[in-house]
Amino acid sequence: MNRAAAPLSTWYLIAGGVVATASVAVPSDRARDLIVVVAALQLAPALWLARRSHPLSMAVLACFAGAGGFGAAARLASGDSPPWHSLSAVVLALCGAACLVAGLALLIRDGTAMPPKHLYGDAAIVALGTWIAAWALFIQPVSEDHNARAIGVFLYGLYQPTASMVLFLTALMVLGRKQRPPSVWLLVMALTCNMAADVLTSMSDVGHIGDTAARAVAPLCVLAFFGLGAAALHPTFAEISRPHRQHRIDSMGRLVVIVAALVAPVVVLAATAPNDPTDRVVRSLSALGLAAVVTLRVVGAVRANSRAQAELIHGAQTDPLTGLPNRGVLLARINELLRTSWGPETHPTLFFVDLDRFKNINDSLGHTAGDEVLVTVARRLQGAAPDAATVARLSGDEYVVLDPACQSQGAALALAERLLAAFREPMVLSQGDVFVTASIGVATIHATSSTSPEDLVRHADTAMYRAKDAGRNCVAVYDESMHERVAHRLAVETALYRALDRRELRLFHQPILDLQSGDVVGFEALMRWQQSDGTIVSPAEFIPIAEDTGTIVPIGSWALLEALSQLRRWIDDGVCSPSATMSVNVSPRQLSDSNFPAIVSEALTRSGVSPQLLWLEVTESVMIAEPDLALSTLRRLRSLGVRVALDDFGTGYSSLSLLQKFPLQRIKIDRAFVQGVADNPNDRSLVRTIVAMGRSLGLDMVAEGVESVHQLQVLSDLGCSKAQGFLISHPVPADAMRSTVAALERLGQFPGLRTGVVAPGR
């Protein structure tokens, strides 16, 4: 509908007002009927113009037109009208019926949120109620009139209930919405006029009202028809059929109408006595019919109610994706077991199953594939668990299997293995096959246990994390020490957040010695955390936690600037040579941060240290986990002039391809091999190979963890150029470095090599 149609709708209404006034003014009944027929006919162009609106809007119109046709048919056939009127009445009634059927079908399909069965039931109650009242008040008296033709009475009897049914359905749809645009109000006006006209007509037919009052019927009909046309032409008409949330009238209004439709016939039947046996029979049969429909409707409502209730309970207790019981049900069952099930022979056991690297599946194959995996896992766990067990999904990729009748820890482990085995076969997804593994934590409910269901789930969860730490795809059984470890870790995590602000972090430094010249050619910065109570936490303990929680990013940036500033001061103070380097350890999380090269560049600028003096020590894990990201970051670092060392070489995958692919300039041979280099021929040949390989690639070689002169000698013989370790010096605080370096220099060309004198360690 275009904007220009708004005034058209207004003009339409004004025209309706004028025609209605004219119908009051004309004296002849025939002229009035003619005006009503013309008013009905004018609806055709309005309907034509409104045809682009949604079918539902057309349905409302079709119902009106149908009811109007019926009304006109009944009128034509009534009283002393000429015989040809009967034929027109039948044709009109049939057309009206067709419109009504089509309109009602559309209304019922789309117009309300109610199930059609209930709608039919309510409509039938309204229709029957109206029929009984209409029969007693109008139809029966009219049928007694000897002038009345059978066809007229028949149509009349049919018209009243049909019209009330249509009004009911239309009102339900139109008024059952929160927002009521002007077109809705125009429809309401048309409805009201139509109803008033109907009642007046019926009352006049029976002689309850005089001729003067009956003259109001024509203007009311005119207003009803024009109101309908104005509604159809209003720009908001199409909105009527847009999806909307049903308002309370949908239930409340319906109830009021239905109660009225039940009470009215009861009152009418009670107030009026049957006139003859036929009347009595009609009344009794109608009342029986109404009672039957009401009974059916009540039975249907009760059934629907209990179904809805069952669905609600089911929905609140199950996971919608897999159909498994949810956390609430699981906790309730554990609670029940805590009270009832344990005994000397039975130890109800919880298996916390968490998929390994499920995020990868979601990220790489999409969430639909992820959902398929979750459903398949649910089915497989159900298949592997004993019949009496409960398999629940807690959230995401977490499931719990609760076996209420487990008899021993051995049986629990056997079941855990069976659950793990359920993952051995590949999962067939629409995108192809995938292999998924899981980590399982096992916790048993003990007879003496005073723990809550939530605690038990947490215990199994803790054990599951232990299984993850142990390399995934395995089982771990909960014990109290795990809880202590978790609590300790939580305490460390919390304290670590504040360590930087509280200046609890410090750097120690370990000198790196050139084995040819015996000079201190560099230092490695090693972080220390001195907690407020004086305890010193080893980086091996807190760095992985900082890495997990992300605190490593600010801590690492601080260490970088601190180490470089320290080197600047040592060079300026003559503690070390101007070409001495500083090695700073960089964790994978820092390296995956795209901002990292900028942080390095800023630290170099702020400390005034040349990029060539900085070594960044990285481990190979990040190059294996995220090779593309690592490569691009390392290239950006290289372009700054910073050099990169591969730390702990030999402990991980340590392949030649890594050394070739990534821009690395140094290998640090791990302490594990250095320790055995003097006595273990295998370690020695391995170090020999590493050194030869590094040399051929033009890489600088540093041996870590040198603790004996013998080791140092062998390393020197094998061609390793640099070394660090307790033999040379322990990591020392910054203020102890001057004396450490001086002591090392006093030993000249490292006489320890020749004499066995060990350098000044701490």
Query: Which chain residues interact with ligand C2E by CB under 6 A?
Result: 510, 525-527, 538-540, 543, 556, 559, 585-587, 617, 647-648, 671, 704-707, 724-726, 731
**Burial letters 422-455, b for 16+ CB under 10 A, else e:** bbeeebebeeeebebebbbbbbbbeeebebebee
Alpha-carbon gap, residue 255 to 433, rounded angstroms? 56
510 vs 721, which CB is nearer to ligand C2E?
A: 510
371 vs 547, which CB is nearer to ligand C2E?
A: 547
- Distance (Å) of CA 165 to CA 432, 565, 654: 56, 89, 83
Q: How far is the CB of 520 from ligand C2E (least distance, A)?
A: 15
CB count within 10 Å of CB 6 equals 15
Partner that binds at residue 397, options Mg ion, ligand C2E, none, CB closer than 5 to 8 Å by kind: none
Partner that binds at residue 543, options ligand C2E, Mg ion, none, CB closer than 5 to 8 Å by kind: ligand C2E
DSSP 216: T
160 vs 724, which CB is nearer to ligand C2E?
A: 724
Q: How far is the CB of 522 from Mg ion (least distance, A)?
A: 12
Q: Which single residue brings its beta carbon nearest to Mg ion?
A: 617
166 vs 513, which CB is nearer to ligand C2E?
A: 513
Q: How far is the CB of 674 from ligand C2E (least distance, A)?
A: 8
Q: How far is the CB of 472 from ligand C2E (least distance, A)?
A: 23
Spatial CA neighbour of 588 closest among 618, 558, 555, 559? 618
Q: How far is the CB of 703 from ligand C2E (least distance, A)?
A: 10
Partner that binds at residue 527, options Mg ion, ligand C2E, none, CB closer than 5 to 8 Å by kind: ligand C2E
Alpha-carbon gap, residue 92 to 69, rounded angstroms? 5
Q: How far is the CB of 528 from ligand C2E (least distance, A)?
A: 7
Structure tokens at 558: 């601080």
Contact between 346 and 334 (Cβ < 8 Å):
no
Q: How far is the CB of 651 from Mg ion (least distance, A)?
A: 9
DSSP class per residue in 570-590:
HHHHTSS-TT-EEEEE--HHH
Spatial CA neighbour of 600 closest among 652, 557, 545? 557
Partner that binds at residue 558, options ligand C2E, Mg ion, none, CB closer than 5 to 8 Å by kind: none
List the helix and strand counts (H, then E) for the chain. Answer: 31, 17
Partner that binds at residue 705, options Mg ion, ligand C2E, none, CB closer than 5 to 8 Å by kind: ligand C2E
Partner that binds at residue 726, options ligand C2E, Mg ion, none, CB closer than 5 to 8 Å by kind: ligand C2E
543 vs 718, which CB is nearer to ligand C2E?
A: 543
Partner that binds at residue 556, options ligand C2E, Mg ion, none, CB closer than 5 to 8 Å by kind: ligand C2E
Spatial CA neighbour of 687 closest among 727, 726, 721? 721
Partner that binds at residue 559, options Mg ion, ligand C2E, none, CB closer than 5 to 8 Å by kind: ligand C2E
- Distance (Å) of CA 136 to CA 133, 139, 194, 286, 756: 5, 7, 21, 11, 127
Structure tokens at 682: 């295998």
Burial class (CB in 10 A: 0-12, 13-18, 19+), 170: buried
467 vs 560, which CB is nearer to ligand C2E?
A: 560
Q: How far is the CB of 346 from Mg ion (least distance, A)?
A: 51
Q: What are phi and psi of 136, to 5 degrees?
A: -70, -40
Partner that binds at residue 239, options ligand C2E, Mg ion, none, CB closer than 5 to 8 Å by kind: none
636 vs 730, which CB is nearer to ligand C2E?
A: 730
403 vs 647, which CB is nearer to Mg ion?
A: 647
497 vs 726, which CB is nearer to ligand C2E?
A: 726
324 vs 613, which CB is nearer to ligand C2E?
A: 613
* Site residues (vs Mg ion, CB under 5 A): 585, 617, 647-648, 704
DSSP class per residue in 25-93:
H---HHHHHHHHHHHHHTHHHHHHHGGGS-HHHHHHHHHHHHHHHHHHHHHHHSTT--THHHHHHHHHH
Q: How far is the CB of 696 from ligand C2E (least distance, A)?
A: 24
Partner that binds at residue 183, options Mg ion, ligand C2E, none, CB closer than 5 to 8 Å by kind: none
Alpha-carbon gap, residue 689 to 126, rounded angstroms? 97
Q: How far is the CB of 717 from ligand C2E (least distance, A)?
A: 19
